[in-house]
Structure 1
Amino acid sequence: MKIFVGEYICGGGFAELSTDQIPAGLRQEGESMLRALVEDLSEFAETTVIVEDRFGIKFDRSEVVSFDSDGHLWAQWVAAAKGCDAALVIAPESDGVLAKGVALLRSSGIEVVACSGDFLRVASDKLLTAQLLHAAGVAHPTYLANEDDRMSEQLQGHGRYVVKPRDGCGTQAIQTFSDLDQARQSMCDNSLLQAWVSGKNVSIALLSSGAYQTFLPAVSQEIRPSGCRYIGGCGPLDDDSQRRATALASRAIAAMPPTARGFVGLDLILGDQSSDDYVIEINPRLTTSYVGLREMIHGNLAARLFDLETGPVSCKATVDSVRWKPDGTVTIDSPAVA
């Protein structure tokens, strides 16, 4: 099997910017996901990876294609992926980048392990996600957008609010406010305002090969309060939190358009009790939690995308024993157990 892997930031997406103009956090997370995924894929397949030479990224067991900064991004990805059995794309939802990249590769006859176009469209737009989840009765924060103010009265008195881009990636460009009027004044056409929900920041990933779906262990996300910046994660969660996270994520995925495929990350808030649990976002792509998840389970997560490993996921780590940072650094606090 031969598999192409493209990660947007390392693979030419920001070629027109100097290195110091690229958000350090995004580049760190992009490279850490790329390295982890390619390492797992290389255990059972030949891999082709496209990267910019200036980043100095090396892979021992992969064919590396150098990105030409004078060339067209997607044309180079298509050329590098030709002849591969499948392609995996790691890209942000911002400005429709992920959906466009997947569509262009598919239109060139390349099998992309990613969600359907309809799933990508809804998940990439936080307003569409909010509307769909509320319509389906899935717990999601009260929201407001310039073109949808039906819940404006329900926002009164929450005490804290979040304003974010509808197509934002990760924790980039998120603002928090204690005054609703100030929050509304900060909005633009591409903004979504949400009531702040208190609780534990949790991430859970769905892995879908197309033939079957399985949820991976739920983990906590460490978010710096000032600026809502993602600074890492820890897991796996305890059994009760696992059950609650899986149940809520299952309802969210069932409400989405068909079809989920590849990796889908869901950001949740778990409150004091299950009635206080909320879905915050659905990310139709690989997320940084992957660097920690691969250390928690028996076997190879990437192999499950191609049904080379099947059956229930077996966790080998104790509660909260695996920690990671955005740059891919992973520490294990206690020995794994069988």
Structure 2
Amino acid sequence: MFRVASRIGPRHDQTLRSLVLVEGFCLRLFVSEFICGGGWREGERPASLIREGAAMLRALIEDLLQIPEMQVVTTWDRRLPDGLGSRKSPSLDIVPVAGPDEEHEVFRRLCESADASYIIAPELSDELSLRTAVAASFEQRRSPQISYPHPRNLNCSVEAIDLCGDKWSLFEHLTRHAIPTIPTFQLQDRSSHDSLSWPRVLKLRLGAGSQSMQLVSSPAEWESAIKSFDNSSRHTEAIVQPYIPGQAFSVGVIIDRNRTLHRLPVADQLIDPRNGFAYLGGRVPSHCWTGSIDPLLDKVLPTIPGVYGFVGIDFLIPDGTPGTPLLVEINPRLTTSYTGYRQLCRDNLAALWLGESDPVEQLHWRDGQIEFQAAGECS
């Protein structure tokens, strides 16, 4: 059982106190998932992103449909098999789109017409930031039933997304705040990483998940590996890190509308470094982690401007220095671990920041451990 731990920043004004639930008033919430919702434009979609995107969208919609007076609208790409058929409900409106051009128009229209929007998208090509900016651009709306406007964007702020989604900028930020993290270098600054030992890790500066990540074991592999990154822009630029053996973990937090931080259990991350760091899922709560991640959370979260809702934090316990957790990434959005957390929690996690007028102050957890796959299956 996890209790309220702290507040992040000042209490929000009335725009964040309640989204629903005035008797007789229905909130129409637009939930957009970029990969499965029709936004993907550049060639073949990575199968891993399709699986994870669909899993998050299904899980979130199921939880939202449990909230009284909630109406949910989403888009779905006609080019994909129907992934939401079993979730059809009078409270769910699925808008099919033929591809990215139509999705672009529908996305703007639904952001404008819905009472509020929540965006699920990868950091690739700044998609999460750009789409959140669109959702936040529309004026706050008033209804005759309540005396204050609804917030239109239920994601983290664009500023938080830009900082956390850029691995180089985040490394510089963490270093300035003396937060332990993995040493990081820009690929084009060859002198900075020439002396790194092998193996090394190559990844996109604006990557999502394990996309384009490579474990490079020798100089012979290095020249071939770096050719896949042209470094002509931030979107194709690579960063270099030493490979640090250790145990990978993640922890979810939810910052609700009262600016209260809900700490979720630490989860094991199941990752295959020899297969492009493929993400296989996780187990929650971790049976391998016996320490406390609270000091790291308390130090880093107040430094991120506009952090809100569900945030996933990845960290590493190095084999050589197990007493010093290294912060790896901050995901300012829903992550696949949500599919496991929602099965373990007795409360509706989505209602904390997307629904109820009075978020619970204390979450209640089931006994046992949930193992979740990247595609969302739980056991």
Aligned residue pairs total 322
Identify if the C-alpha distance between structure 1 residues 209 and 151 changes in structure 2 by more than 3 Å, giving closer, same or farther: farther
Identify if the C-alpha distance between structure 1 residues 307 and 52 changes in structure 2 by more than 3 Å, giving closer, same or farther: closer
The one-character-per-residue Cα deviations of 1:167-195 (angstroms, maximum 9, x if unpaired) are: 00001110112347964871642001011
Does residue 259 of structure 2 align to residue 234 of structure 1?
A: no
Give the structure 2 partner of residue 142 of structure 1: 183
Identify if the C-alpha distance between structure 1 residues 233 and 251 changes in structure 2 by more than 3 Å, giving closer, same or farther: same
Contact 1:143 1:151 in 2 (8 A): no
Over alpha carbons, which structure has the higher Rg?
Answer: 2
Give the structure 2 partner of residue 222 of structure 1: 270
Contact 1:297 1:317 in 2 (8 A): no
Equivalent-residue separation in structure 2 for 1:246 and 1:188 (angstroms):
39
Q: Which of structures 1 and 2 has the larger relative contact order (alpha carbons within 8 angstroms, sep 6+)? A: 2
Contact 1:249 1:279 in 2 (8 A): no
Equivalent-residue separation in structure 2 for 1:70 and 1:30 (angstroms):
16
Equivalent-residue separation in structure 2 for 1:148 and 1:215 (angstroms):
38
The one-character-per-residue Cα deviations of 1:31-67 (angstroms, maximum 9, x if unpaired) are: 0100000000011121111112332132322111122
Give the structure 2 partner of residue 36 of structure 1: 59
Q: C-alpha displacement at 1:109, in angstroms?
A: 3.2
Instruction: Give the residue type in structure 2 aligned to 1:291.
Output: T
* Residue segments in structure 2 that go unaligned for 5+ positions in a row: 1-26, 141-151, 232-236
> Among 309, 327, 330, which residue is 1:262 paired with?
309
Moved more, 242-251 or 279-288: 242-251
Does residue 96 of structure 2 align to residue 66 of structure 1?
A: yes
Instruction: Give the residue type in structure 2 aligned to 1:237.
Output: S
Instruction: Give the residue type in structure 2 aligned to 1:2.
Output: R
Give the structure 1 partner of residue 50 of structure 2: 27
Contact 1:74 1:104 in 2 (8 A): no
SS in 2 for 1:28: helix
Give the structure 1 partner of residue 365 of structure 2: 315
The one-character-per-residue Cα deviations of 1:289-308 (angstroms, maximum 9, x if unpaired) are: 11111011121000001462
Q: TM-score, normalised by structure 1?
A: 0.87
> Among 90, 94, 97, which residue is 2:120 paired with?
90
> Among 231, 236, 242, which residue is 1:195 paired with?
242
Give the structure 2 partner of residue 113 of structure 1: 154
> Among 44, 48, 54, which residue is 2:73 paired with?
48
Equivalent-residue separation in structure 1 for 2:180 and 2:289 (angstroms):
16
Equivalent-residue separation in structure 2 for 1:112 and 1:15 (angstroms):
24
Does residue 127 of structure 2 align to residue 80 of structure 1?
A: no
Q: TM-score, normalised by structure 2?
A: 0.78
Q: C-alpha displacement at 1:285, in angstroms?
A: 0.9
Identify if the C-alpha distance between structure 1 residues 142 and 299 changes in structure 2 by more than 3 Å, giving closer, same or farther: same
Q: C-alpha displacement at 1:133, in angstroms?
A: 0.6
Moved more, 274-283 or 22-31: 274-283
Give the structure 1 partner of residue 11 of structure 2: none
Contact 1:163 1:183 in 2 (8 A): no
Give the structure 1 partner of residue 20 of structure 2: none
Alignment identity in percent? Answer: 26
The one-character-per-residue Cα deviations of 1:220-279 (angstroms, maximum 9, x if unpaired) are: 1101132210011111024x93652333233222332x1101211111112356533101
